[in-house]
């Protein structure tokens, strides 16, 4: 089951990144597929209002933590070889079915928060927990929500395309910018 807030934020920033790149990953899955014009994506203003709502505690602490973790999770994917390498890591840890569901056009299978220890690593989770000032369990649960949705948004046609990592890279500063604006 996907987190609608994570889905909304990722759809918007990835759509904005694609629009800036002038291309698309294809697809029309869900609201606002990632075609060349972002086909109805939410845009930066909507992301800002979602994040501002989180910062204003309208969505509660959990949503705020997931939003804060989002750029770190995106950076983690980049540091660990990109989307394909992370998907392979998930498969190598015995979660092939879950990884395939995130790429496919159907429903995403959830990632058990405890499995995040195997995929991300306890040391990395501990480091992020300290950096963000939140319990490690929250970081683990956040990654469990973010990873499936991130893969889903970057594979709208059910396949991993080479430009997905470039789109992810371009999306990171957009998320960071929106988080900075929401904190003000």
Domain assignment of residue 91, given as a range: 4-183
Digit-coded pLDDT (tens) for 13-70: 888 888 887 766 665 444 333 333 333 333 444 455 555 554 444 445 667 788 889 9
CATH number at 10 reads 1.10.10.690
* pTM for the model: 0.80
Digit-coded pLDDT (tens) for 100-143: 999 999 999 999 998 999 999 999 999 999 999 999 999 999 99
pLDDT-based confidence at 6, cuts 50/70/90?
Answer: confident
pLDDT on residue 111: 93
pLDDT on residue 145: 93
Which residue carries 């606002």 as its tokens?
32
Higher-pLDDT residue of 87, 40: 87
Least confident of 20-29, 118-127, 151-160, 172-181: 20-29
pLDDT on residue 34: 39
pLDDT on residue 107: 93
Count structural domains, the chain. Answer: 1
């Amino acid at each position: 089951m996907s987190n609608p807030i994570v889905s909304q934020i990722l759809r918007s920033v990835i759509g904005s990144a694609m629009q800036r790149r002038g291309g698309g990953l294809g697809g029309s899955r869900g609201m606002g597929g990632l075609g060349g014009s972002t086909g109805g994506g939410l845009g930066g203003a909507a992301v800002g209002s979602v994040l501002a709502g989180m910062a204003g505690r309208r969505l509660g602490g959990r949503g705020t933590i997931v939003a804060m973790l989002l750029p770190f999770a995106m950076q983690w994917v980049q540091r660990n070889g990109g989307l394909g390498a992370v998907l392979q890591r998930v498969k190598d840890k015995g979660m092939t079915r879950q990884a395939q569901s995130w790429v496919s056009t159907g429903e995403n299978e959830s990632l058990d928060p405890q499995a995040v220890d195997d995929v991300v690593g306890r040391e990395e989770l501990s480091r992020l927990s300290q950096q963000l000032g939140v319990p490690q369990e929250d970081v683990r649960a956040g990654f469990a929500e973010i990873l499936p949705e991130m893969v889903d948004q970057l594979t709208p046609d059910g396949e991993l395309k080479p430009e997905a990592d470039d789109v992810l890279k371009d999306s990171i500063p957009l998320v960071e910018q929106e988080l900075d604006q929401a904190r003000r």
